[in-house]
Copies of this chain bind each other. A is one copy, B any other.
């Protein structure tokens, strides 16, 4: 099921809501009001109500959102109710850190394959995977993986992406500080650490 006309910014906040509801569940809280949720997430209550209302009315006035079922609904909206396999391209320092990043499992992600072009890395174990030669990247298609995490040098990123297009990858989390040219059907989220840090001095 596709939901149309929902702003990207709303979709960007949905995993934040999912994490909050998941944490509330482990804290054995049954309901939460948009006001308390907003405090927790440093957002404004109307923003949260508007975001969640795009997907149907979840909450009850005066009571709030039921924690367990809302978590389940968001998980299903984001298609995180099934294990999502991802391929990691780049087994350098950043790639290795990502391979062992503990946060992925909460969202049901599974790093199912790792690739690099460096002979010294191919065949070594990183996290739970053995690093494969990038020349075998078509494995991604065979393994039915549609997500990739890119942790390669900026000057190699575009050529890797071109290969991923051929492997039917549909979503890329890009950690290389560069723009990627992708077909319209492919969604890219770029995390540029320097750019994120770049906003902070303004506030100081």
On whether A171 and B201 interact (CB within 8 A), knowing A93-B97, A97-B97, A177-B103, the answer reads yes
This chain: how many copies in the complex?
2
Instruction: Point out the residue from B84, B103, B106, B200 that lies within 8 Å of A201, measured CB to CB.
Output: B84
Question: Chain A 87-123, CB within 8 Å of chain B: the 1/0 string?
Answer: 0000011101110111110110100000000000000
Which of A14-22, A29-37, A131-139 faces chain B?
A: A14-22
Please measure, in the bound complex, the distance between the C-alpha atom of A47 and the C-alpha atom of B190, giving whole angstroms. Answer: 19
Q: Are B203 and A170 in contact (CB under 8 A)?
A: yes
Q: Which residues of B contact A173 (CB under 8 A)?
A: 193, 196-197, 200
Q: Are A194 and B101 in contact (CB under 8 A)?
A: yes
Cβ of A67 under 8 Å from chain B? no
**A residues within 8 Å of B by Cβ?**
11-12, 14-16, 18-19, 40-41, 77-80, 84, 86, 92-94, 96-98, 100-104, 106-107, 109, 146-147, 149, 153-154, 170-173, 177, 179, 187, 189, 191-204
Q: Which residues of B contact A78 (CB under 8 A)?
A: 198-199, 201-202
Closest B residue, CB atoms, query A98 = B193
Q: Which residues of B contact A194 (CB under 8 A)?
A: 15, 101, 103-104, 106-107, 109
Q: Which residues of B contact A204 (CB under 8 A)?
A: 79, 146-147, 170-171, 187
10 A-B pairs closest in CB distance: A171-B200, A15-B198, A93-B97, A103-B177, A103-B194, A79-B201, A94-B97, A187-B203, A15-B195, A170-B204
Please measure, in the bound complex, the distance between the C-alpha atom of A98 and the C-alpha atom of B175, giving whole angstroms. Answer: 11
Please measure, in the bound complex, the distance between the C-alpha atom of A27 and the C-alpha atom of B173, giving whole angstroms. Answer: 27
